[in-house]
Amino acid sequence: MNYQAILDEIYDEVQPELHKGKVADYIPALAEVGKGQFAMTVTLDNGQVFSVGDSGKQFSIQSISKVFTFTLALDVYSRELYKRVGVEPSGNPFNSLVQLEYENGIPRNPFINAGAIAITDALISYYRDEYMTLEVIMNFVREISNNPKLSFDPLVANSEMEHGDRNLALARLMKSFGNFENDVLGTVFTYFKHCSITMNTEELSRAMLFLAFGGTDPVSQKQFITPSQTKRINAVMLTCGHYDASGEFAYHVGLPAKSGVGGGIAAIVPGKMSIAVWSPALNRYGNSHAGTLALEKFTTKTGLSIF
C-alpha cells in the first residue's frame, strides 16, 4: 500500500478542518499553541516512517503519557493495580469529580485524570520517591522511542500546577477515601510533569510501536512487556482512550488509541503499524478535531482497523 500517497491525500482533505474546534486554554501554556497545524506519521515494523505536515514539531503529549505510566504500573503491580483503578469506560469528562465521589474514590480507568493520578501515586510508592519515579517514566519513554533526548517542558508543568485545582481536588478526594499513599502536591506535580513530555509525531509513533507488536519493539527486538499485558493496555485504549467520546472514536476509527489535550492522538494497528497525529484544535470532548478525522480517513482509505 502507498502510505505516503494516502497521508498526502488526508493532508489535503483535512485543511478546511484545521481551524475548527478550540485549543485547550485551561492550561495557559497550551493556549498559546496556534491552530492550523497538522502532522501525521505512520511507522512500520521495519522502522520505515511515512510523514506529512509538521511532523518535526514538538507538542505536549499530555494524556497520551497515561499509556506509558499505565504500562509501567501494570508491569510492577499486575492484578493488584485493579484494587486502586478500574478498567471501565467512564462516560464522563476526563476531570469529573462526581463519579469519583459516588464510586468511593476508585477511578473508573487509568486514562481519566483521577485514574492517571492514582497510577502516578502507585508508581511513587513502588519507586520510593517522586524524583526516582519521574526518572523511571522518562527513561522508559526514551527507551521505547529509542530517543535518549526526550524530555518534558517545565513551563507547561508549572502552568498546569498553577491552575491545577481540579486535579488536586481529585487527588484529595481519593485521599479522603484512602486511595492515595503519597504527598498530594508532589504526586500531582509528578503527574503534570509526565503530561508535559514533548514529542513530535515521528517520536510518538515510534514510542507506540511496541504496543502494535505484542510488547516487543520490532525494530530493536527489545521486549518491554508481555503479549498478554499488551492486549490489556490496547483494550483499555480502545474502550477508554478518548474520554467520554471513546465509543464514538471506536465506532468511527476502529483502532486502540489515546488522545491528549495537546492535540495529539497515538494509535496502533496490531501486527502492522503505529500512527501518531497532531492538530491542536480540540472538539468538545477534548480530542483533536482534525486528528480524529484524519484517523477516520486513514482507516477508511486503507481498510485497516481491528474490526
- Asked if 257 contacts 267 with a C-beta cutoff of 8 angstroms, the reply is yes
- Give catalytic status of residue 66 as yes or no: yes
Please pick, from the candidates 90, 167, 234, 283, the single residue that binds ligand GLU as defined by CB under 6 A.
167
- Helix pair angle (113-127, 165-176), 10° resolution: 70
- Give catalytic status of residue 145 as yes or no: no
SS3 61: coil
- Asked if 231 contacts 225 with a C-beta cutoff of 8 angstroms, the reply is no
SS3 217: coil
Q: Quick check: 120 binds ligand GLU (CB under 6 A)?
A: no
Q: Quick check: 261 binds ligand GLU (CB under 6 A)?
A: yes
Q: Which is nearer to ligand GLU, 95 or 125 (CB)?
A: 95
35, 66, 193, 297: which is the annotated catalytic residue? 66
3, 55, 67, 191: which is the annotated catalytic residue? 191
- Asked if 73 contacts 81 with a C-beta cutoff of 8 angstroms, the reply is yes
Nearest by Cα to 98 from 85, 83, 108, 89:
108
Please pick, from the candidates 214, 260, 280, 291, the single residue that binds ligand GLU as defined by CB under 6 A.
260
Distance of CA 257 to the CA centre of its chain: 8
Q: Which is nearer to ligand GLU, 233 or 273 (CB)?
A: 233
The footprint of ligand GLU on residues 182-201 (CB under 6 A) is 192, 195
Please pick, from the candidates 160, 202, 203, 217, the single residue that binds ligand GLU as defined by CB under 6 A.
160
Please pick, from the candidates 71, 113, 246, 288, the single residue that binds ligand GLU as defined by CB under 6 A.
113
196, 236, 243, 279: which is the annotated catalytic residue? 243
Q: Quick check: 94 binds ligand GLU (CB under 6 A)?
A: yes
What cell was used for 21? 474546534
* Count of residues interacting with ligand GLU (CB under 6 A): 12
What cell was used for 174? 481519593
Q: Give me the least distance between CB of 165 and ligand GLU, in Å please.
A: 11
- Give catalytic status of residue 77 as yes or no: no
Q: Which is nearer to ligand GLU, 62 or 246 (CB)?
A: 62
Q: Quick check: 283 binds ligand GLU (CB under 6 A)?
A: no
d(CA 249, CA 255): 8
CA distances from 60 to 23, 29, 152, 263, 307 (A): 12, 10, 8, 8, 30
d(CA 72, CA 78): 10
Q: Quick check: 63 binds ligand GLU (CB under 6 A)?
A: yes
Q: Quick check: 159 binds ligand GLU (CB under 6 A)?
A: no
Nearest by Cα to 156 from 97, 196, 203, 213:
196
55, 63, 196, 259: which is the annotated catalytic residue? 63
Q: Give me the least distance between CB of 116 and ligand GLU, in Å please.
A: 8
Q: How far apart are the first and last CA of the chain?
A: 19
Q: Quick check: 59 binds ligand GLU (CB under 6 A)?
A: no
Q: Which is nearer to ligand GLU, 105 or 286 (CB)?
A: 286
Q: Which is nearer to ligand GLU, 86 or 115 (CB)?
A: 115
What cell was used for 99? 463519579
Please pick, from the candidates 62, 205, 234, 274, the single residue that binds ligand GLU as defined by CB under 6 A.
62
- Asked if 278 contacts 291 with a C-beta cutoff of 8 angstroms, the reply is yes
511513587: which residue's cell? 124
- Asked if 213 contacts 46 with a C-beta cutoff of 8 angstroms, the reply is no
Which residues contact ligand GLU (rule: CB under 6 A)? Answer: 62-63, 94-95, 113, 160, 167, 192, 195, 260-261, 286
Give the catalytic positions in this structure: 63, 66, 191, 243, 261
